[in-house]
Structure 1
């Protein structure tokens, strides 16, 4: 194969915690990310390819996500189809990353299927994941329905690929994306007054600007009694703060590194110098500081759950948040919440994408390795994604283009809808376009860079630093982190 794998350094593995030996384990992989021992058993002549590994038990480690909740609640169809048992372990993301690192260090692959977060699993551990093209090209397995081409192209690259390689390490599994969520009933009620006072059409859309968003929020603060505040934000000193700020950063023409879109889409070990001290980034930070200053005061303690609950509870009239909160919104405020792409800035609009893929440990061996592919194939299939979308356990949103084309899914994009996440389809469809999708850097050392940024942003929001100082300090810290990441 032509894929070039990058083995994480011992330093990077130690940074995750307790996994320094993983580099040695990864060093035993072949160029295709595959162990040399315990080959997959050959199929029986004339046998059902889905039943090829019946009686095998495999393990899947995942973050607590909507698709996994839906699958875990209804594993019987997979068991009946394949005869395979699957144990699912769900953890918060940081605990998952630590478990994956330790699993690699052990060299025995406790987990066959891995929820491969692009930034904390895929980028640092690409060498520890199998190239899924190996399975898709093998006629002894059931075909990958629709092929790789059926997945939304930006999502396949962002969640499944790394660097200059053509290898596909994961299939798109979930696709949370930040969009503008707003109280449609209040915007309709006050539309004429807002438009007269503000001098522009306040209807949320990607044509509105962030400055207009600010003015709408300020107007609601002063004129609307039904909610205490116009806007809320996930501005806690947490990964959520980076996610919320990034939408503004990109819209103002700022970025984390040169060629930021490509760094986010395909990833790299060497992103170059940090650009957060650019005039555009500083302007974005100063605007974000002003925006949060008029938002609900709870914003400084909210992550995505906090701001999602605040919108559902009637504490704010609008907020940027992950689109999969639509199901919560519809349960709490049926028919009252609308969805639009995020506002634009001087450089356009950007909608933060937070999707993840699932892949196979390159150290999974024998029948477990083949069974893992059957699960990855099944879990991301159109039929399973449709079932997840309908699930009362949560569901998630499809990552396959063919699912969106189904008549029943198309019908669910308007109310009344039995698939409430599909009410966001128009907004996220725009958000996933290549020139609108917002992608944080896919680099092995991203976790530390993320912490450096949201720490400095939090100091800025607390009034301890001006925007320029916060961005300059974040830049210096991130440059140091990236430099250390280059050391073997």
Structure 2
């Protein structure tokens, strides 16, 4: 495995300095040329035999964000090499650096990185023209089957959100990881104080989908003043960062707000023209008001924390509960064994909503010859039931599966309850609820999302710092997002 340091500078400045503006890249003659070239590049002819051995001796490169599944796979590539005879070199980068590298590689004419960690918002939406349509391989003669029902085995909302863009008939990536935000709480503290808290507050305080965000606020405030084990009832990933947008979005959707019209469709399949922003609507302003109030009584470190910061705060016994990515469960259990519970996030006036942060892996469309075919072998293996189970067990990382069939395995079902040898599975009930179409939270899958995201978390951060009230803040963010969308996908 090769590890490279993240490149410095922002994605936009990097592309501009390189002469590869985002809009220019989308229509790049080089990209168009390599797409045409792939249609005629000789692929080794399949003459029968084991399709897994068809590209034996080939070396491919996989560029990935430094995620749990990739850590697990990098620690044990031997099974893939033994199965296929293909060598894989893995480059791990911070996501912004990965996007920069992928953008340049797609315009180069020939892929240096054949397998790409295709973040739906930063890679798939803006660069789908540079990713291969996997129908070229899935079910085609000379390639192994995906197994266990093929594409239908992937959790449907994840296949759409992480694998497709605009065209429902094309699949550009296979679901690879699936971090989803759920309610994580100190079970031991709730066991100790639950009776008193319920009596004082006048409602059932059991964490779960029946609680409301207003009740969550009251519970956090009660813990602030009554629990000795932790100084604060809640903590949030409210740093001026993508994490702030993720944290706020759970309330936005729960209160009936959204970023654009038809938000679920824009999140599942995506669009190139989402229309006017809805962030100036009453539902969005109501959500912002409660979020502002909630962070106001949260641990003061919240405004400097991203998802890692708030996860560490829970494990350091600084907070009693937090919304955060479910894949923190394994680390929680290693530090606070048996003390952390997992539940769906609270509901708002409209619904329960849980930010989904999963990504897929795809093939660079300027991959050629045997490298192109070997890349699909890696996709098929890396997302297979056996590999996802091995990742779940890995001490190097792992993540949680994206295939429904893995969750039906007896040893996986057993691990949903303590004592668990697969601690991420302790979140199974919560995430299965979260992944239902009515409960999943999907940010807009649009080519210009990066700029919109920055406008959103910058405005929210200013609100949390007291530089504007929720109504003014959401009006300002909405106007900014509209200008970005009207300008289109440009550098």
**TM-score, normalised on structure 2?**
0.94
Deviations along 1:61-86, whole A, 9 cap, x unmatched? 00000000000000000010000000
State how far apart, in whole Å, the 1-side matches of 2:322 and 2:281 are.
27
Deviations along 1:87-111, whole A, 9 cap, x unmatched? 0000010000000001012121100
1:439 matched to 2:442? yes
Let me know the Cα RMSD of the aligned residues: 1.6
Residue 18 of structure 1, CA deviation: 4.8
1:352 matched to 2:376? no
* Structure 2 contact 33–109 (Cα < 8 Å) conserved: no
State how far apart, in whole Å, the 1-side matches of 2:490 and 2:111 are.
27
1:243 matched to 2:246? yes
Deviations along 1:413-448, whole A, 9 cap, x unmatched? 001111110000000000000000000000000000
State how far apart, in whole Å, the 1-side matches of 2:34 and 2:114 are.
15
Structure 1 segments of 4+ aligned residues over 4 angstroms from their partners: 11-18
Structure 2 equivalent of residue 376 of structure 1: 379
Residue 12 of structure 1, CA deviation: 12
SS at match of 1:87: strand
Structure 2 equivalent of residue 283 of structure 1: 286
1:394 matched to 2:397? yes
Structure 1 equivalent of residue 29 of structure 2: 24
* Structure 1 contact 389–397 (Cα < 8 Å) conserved: yes
SS at match of 2:61: strand
Unaligned runs of 5+ in 2: 1-11
Deviations along 1:243-266, whole A, 9 cap, x unmatched? 000000000111000000100011
1:454 matched to 2:461? no
Change (3 A) 1:213 1:439: same
Structure 2 equivalent of residue 259 of structure 1: 262
Unaligned runs of 5+ in 1: 1-10
Deviations along 1:375-429, whole A, 9 cap, x unmatched? 0000000000000000001100000000000000000000111111000000000
Change (3 A) 1:26 1:165: farther
Change (3 A) 1:94 1:18: farther
State how far apart, in whole Å, the 2-side matches of 1:439 and 1:16 are.
32
2:231 is aligned, of 224, 228, 231, to 228
* Structure 2 contact 34–109 (Cα < 8 Å) conserved: no
State how far apart, in whole Å, the 1-side matches of 2:490 and 2:52 are.
45
Change (3 A) 1:205 1:16: farther
* Structure 2 contact 238–247 (Cα < 8 Å) conserved: yes
State how far apart, in whole Å, the 2-side matches of 1:125 and 1:19 are.
13
Change (3 A) 1:461 1:17: farther
1:89 is aligned, of 91, 97, 116, to 91
State how far apart, in whole Å, the 1-side matches of 2:91 and 2:29 are.
25
1:62 matched to 2:36? no
Structure 1 equivalent of residue 7 of structure 2: none
Structure 2 equivalent of residue 6 of structure 1: none
Comparing 159-168 with 378-387, greater Cα deviation is found at 159-168
Deviations along 1:298-327, whole A, 9 cap, x unmatched? 000000000000001100000000000001
Structure 2 equivalent of residue 364 of structure 1: 367
